[in-house]
Chain A
């Protein structure tokens, strides 16, 4: 692929950067929680851009205010689906927004 020589999935935030470390992922989670977002985790084996609906790994964590809990769920997902693509998404329930405002793919390992 001429325009994507490294064959890295370039979808969502940070996709043109090196993979985020767990520490950096926690920072993003903390940032989202601070803004009142609800995190959820999704995985798929089909990263086609038209595949909008990835499989949910558990319910969206609407009431979870502790970043460590989100990271723990992520580790569970990585353990369950080591070969899949995993992404973290944040939902903003503010009236008038009510949509996904952050989304980034993380490594399975």
Chain B
């Protein structure tokens, strides 16, 4: 989950309260679903010391990820990258402020260049937007950002704005992330879809749990279908049109019949015991992991 808003007013946004409440919700969600959940806690602040303090607080609360806005500047971005490496945290790069470089078309800097810099700076995620442009940018340009983030070796690709070959050597890859409405058809290429399958699609609609679930289901179908087609071309047209709405086997009514009724039915389904073991809440073990 991403708090996809810029940090504007520092006095107004009460970062400590926000972190506490958000982590409360993250822990509840994790306990309810049995999945690792995270929320990007935005540590953007006026000074490096403030950011370290907030990031440290997020770490102590058990968050797995923090985010920073582009406006903190390149030196600070690299310092936060180093902090994230030292503390085993994921660093999400929010592109707030990129308009100051990219908005003006007759001068300025393309976001593709910023993406390269950010990869060199060592961030883990980059908010690169969807390939079907949300605000601006044509699909090919956005695919250029994605390739710059994901490639080991970028080849010259003029339609996507890549003018030269570039060998990335061992520079770590960056996962491009979108915040809203990434649809099945958005995946521009195999590599970037692979990077996004756990991420972007979960944010299909970050205001609606149903949208998130539908996104997860759609991703599942898409991957299954796509990998199968890559293996052998047996995809039928009907499978292509599979619905992305909440499917019958995830609806509670069907669940009663199919999962909790006749356990010896012919369709073997993995299930937890009827009274599922209470998830061990990551208190001792999780803090232990981070103990220096």
**Interface residues of A, Cβ cutoff 8 Å to B:** 1-11, 13-19, 24, 27-28, 30-31, 34, 47-50, 85, 94-97, 101, 105, 107-109
Contact = CB atoms under 8 A, between A and B. Distances in A.
Contacts of B228: 24, 27, 31
A4 B34 contact: yes
B168 interface: yes
A6 B33 CA distance: 10
Contacts of B224: 14, 17, 24
Contact of A49 (B258, B268, B279): B279
Nearest to A29: B231
Given A16-B220, A49-B279, 18 more contacts: A1-B33, A3-B209, A4-B32, A7-B255, A14-B224, A16-B216, A19-B269, A27-B228, A31-B230, A47-B272, A49-B30, A49-B34, A49-B36, A50-B286, A94-B152, A95-B152, A101-B194, A105-B270
A1 B267 CA distance: 23
Give the size range of B's interface with the partner. 35 or more
Contacts of A31: 227-228, 230-231
B86 interface: no
B221 interface: yes
A24 B230 CA distance: 13
B249 A6 contact: yes
A59 B217 CA distance: 32
Contacts of B33: 1, 3-4, 10
A107 B279 contact: no
B49 interface: no
B220 A15 contact: yes
B270 A8 contact: yes
B117 to A, nearest CB: 19
Contacts of B213: 16
Name, among B172, B247, B249, the residue most crowded by chain A CB atoms within 10 Å (CB to CB). B249
A10 B231 contact: no
B271 A7 contact: yes
B250 to A, nearest CB: 6
Interface of B: 29-30, 32-36, 152, 168, 170, 172-173, 194, 197, 209, 213, 216-217, 220-221, 223-224, 227-228, 230-232, 247, 249-252, 255, 258-259, 267-272, 276, 279-280, 282, 285-286
B206 to A, nearest CB: 15
Contact of B34 (A28, A47, A94, A107): A47
Contacts of B271: 6-8
A44 to B, nearest CB: 12
A7 B168 CA distance: 43
Contacts of A16: 213, 216-217, 220, 247, 250
Contacts of B279: 48-49
A95 B170 CA distance: 8
A7 B258 CA distance: 12
B184 to A, nearest CB: 14
